[in-house]
Amino acid sequence: MRYITTNDSPAPALRGIADHSWQSRGLCHGMDPADADELFFHTPRDHEAIAEAKRTCATCPVKRDCFNYALDNQIRHGIWGGLTAKDRQPWLAKLSKRLDYSRVRAALQGRDVHLSTSERSTFIHHANLRGWSPERVAYLLSADLDWIRDLMREAGYVVEDRDRYWDLDEESDTTDGGEHPQDDSEVPTPSEPRQLQTHALIASLGKAA
């Protein structure tokens, strides 16, 4: 699959949902289909096959890719990424709430990653902070433009509310109509300026994504 992006960032290690090239690097690649089915798509309670399959997956270089593939496609049978169908049930149940910043970062860099609801919300907020247009975001997420406009508008409101919150003390100082104390010792100083807190928040978000 071709790597498509609109910036000069290096390609992330995480691959898109349509990219199956990782499968050729799996330890199970090239295995006889009958043996693979018996090993990874075991019969119920076949503990010996399960243990052997997990030993194979434990040292596989594409274990995580295999696991993400099973989650993204909601595969409910067989062993993928070293986990049985039962092991994956808690992950599948919380799939819409999964928040993996490496996936968000890969999507921001142009990969066709199928984001969860939480990951998509994080993507929208970062795109808004970067000043991206709704058209660009809609293209990257393969989503409806009007829907993306609504989400980005809501993300903008969140930033405005945050800035308004940190401005409350300053507004109250200038609008109360009273005289301000001349002695610097009487002026209450916050532990950290609002601007520093805002910049630190944006910086932390940038590192997280």
Tell me how far apart the alpha carbons of residues 22 and 51 are, in angstroms, rounded to a whole number. 23
Is 80:60 a contact under the CB 8 Å cutoff? no
Three-state DSSP state, 32: coil
| 28 annotated to bind ligand | yes
Tell me how far apart the alpha carbons of residues 27 and 31 are, in angstroms, rounded to a whole number. 8
| 66 annotated to bind ligand | yes
| CA nearest to 70, candidates 23, 11, 38 | 23
Is 118:103 a contact under the CB 8 Å cutoff? no
Is 81:57 a contact under the CB 8 Å cutoff? yes
| 60 annotated to bind ligand | yes
In the block, which residue shows the tokens 């058209």?
135
In the block, which residue shows the tokens 């066709």?
112
- Cα dist. 151→62, 140, 147, 148 in Å? 34, 14, 6, 5
| 67 annotated to bind ligand | no
**DSSP 8-state secondary structure symbol assigned to residue 80:** B
Half-sphere exposure of 43 (CA within 13 A, CB side): 1
Q: Which residues fall in the annotated binding site for [4Fe-4S] cluster?
A: 28, 57, 60, 66
Q: Which residues fall in the annotated binding site?
A: 28, 57, 60, 66
